[in-house]
Structure 1
Amino acid sequence: MQKVTTFLWFDDNQAEEAADHYISVIGGDSRVLEVTRWTEAGPGEAGSVMTVRFQLDGTEYIAFNGGPAGFSFDESVSLSVDCASQEEADELWDRLTADGGQESQCGWLKDRFGVSWQIIPPGLGGALTDPDPEKAARAMKAMLGMKRLDIEALRNA
């Protein structure tokens, strides 16, 4: 078990649905590890899902049906995915923005549950830190104008 785990609070009993969605999107070593249920002690309905402990490509997370406490996700915390190819980045982008997700800028998006993600194509760091400061500046300017990141366009900037 890892020492530090990201804990996601869902207001609308979406923990299990969200975990299943993320597992299907990320694939690889991703799976549900454990589901716990509320007991008669509450506050959730007895027998309903309280937490889902799951892993995405080997990293553990916990999704919690905390009830309507008025908490919401925002961009100050996001899940960042380093992709092996532009095709993988595009596929993840499409799947995470589907069914109510929202595109943001610079490779950021919110999925249908409101969780923020950064989808990073390979080579982004190299383009933004090119030893030629003018190339790096052009890549940064190009990135700032993008929603979904296109590594080829950044390299050509």
Structure 2
Amino acid sequence: MPATKTDFPTQKIHPCLWFDKDGLEAAKLYTSIFSNNPHSKKDSAVVDESFITNESATLVTFKLNGQEFSALNGGPHYKHSPAISMFVTCENQAEVDYFWDELVKDGGKPVQCGWLTDKFGVSWQIVPRALLELSADEDKEKSKRVQQAMMKCIKMDVKALEDAYNGV
């Protein structure tokens, strides 16, 4: 049966991530992570899977918090790079810990300053809202201390950022 019009992406512009052959697996992992996070909208799901004759997903459309993405199984020609990353704004340390732990398990790798690479090679920035707010303070000394504390983090530590802001 042909796909219906509603199965296709509806946003004018959305990211398409190139995978060798794991696009469907990645989409299912990402949607499960966002669906199970209590701070996320529950609008995270695989929307459409377009198959080729050997039943391997060629193009997968999925949503994370209502934002559309595609995962294309295009073969080994291109690899993911930190030049493009997924930026996740977290409300508190518990949410930072949740996303961090879910994305590094089963083969992901911590990088630094809140960056990690998941098991598929996709780069993510797991960023507490506190970092954005504290580093934007008009007091340049406070902002500088927050930035310096961030540089010491692998996974973001909200208390360390707040302590730096307060000069502790």
Same fold (TM over 0.5): yes
- Residue number among 2, 9, 25 corresponding to 2:18 in the alignment: 9
CA drift of 1:83 comes to: 1.2
Deviations 1:12-68 (A, max 9, x none): x101100000011111210011000124xxxxxx43211110000100000011112
Residue of structure 2 in register with 1:148 after alignment:
155
Letter in 1 for 2:55: G
Structure 2: which 5+ runs fail to align? 1-9, 36-41
Aligned length: 149
Q: Please state if 1:105 is matched with 2:112.
A: yes
**After TM superposition, which residue ranges in structure 1, 4 or more long, deviate above 3 angstroms?**
none
Q: Secondary structure at the match of 2:33?
A: helix
Q: Please state if 1:54 is matched with 2:62.
A: yes
Deviations 1:77-132 (A, max 9, x none): 00101112210111100000111101111111100000000111121112112222
Residue of structure 2 in register with 1:29 after alignment:
43
Letter in 2 for 1:7: C
Structure 1: which 5+ runs fail to align? 40-45
- Residue number among 27, 39, 45 corresponding to 1:19 in the alignment: 27
Deviations 1:136-157 (A, max 9, x none): 1111111011111112211111
Say whether the 8 Å CA contact 1:128–1:139 is kept in structure 2: yes
The whole-number CA distance in structure 1 between the counterparts of 2:34 and 2:87 is: 12
Q: Secondary structure at the match of 1:94?
A: helix
Say whether the 8 Å CA contact 2:45–2:63 is kept in structure 1: yes
Residue of structure 2 in register with 1:131 after alignment:
138
The whole-number CA distance in structure 2 between the counterparts of 1:110 and 1:66 is: 20
CA drift of 1:135 comes to: 1.0
Say whether the 8 Å CA contact 2:92–2:158 is kept in structure 1: no
Say whether the 8 Å CA contact 1:54–1:61 is kept in structure 2: yes
The whole-number CA distance in structure 1 between the counterparts of 2:136 and 2:156 is: 16
TM-score using structure 1 length: 0.91
The whole-number CA distance in structure 1 between the counterparts of 2:129 and 2:112 is: 17
Q: Secondary structure at the match of 1:18?
A: helix
Backbone CA RMSD of aligned residues: 1.0
Of stretches 17-26 and 80-89 in structure 1, the one that deviates more from structure 2 is: 80-89
Residue of structure 2 in register with 1:42 after alignment:
none
Say whether the 8 Å CA contact 1:86–1:122 is kept in structure 2: no
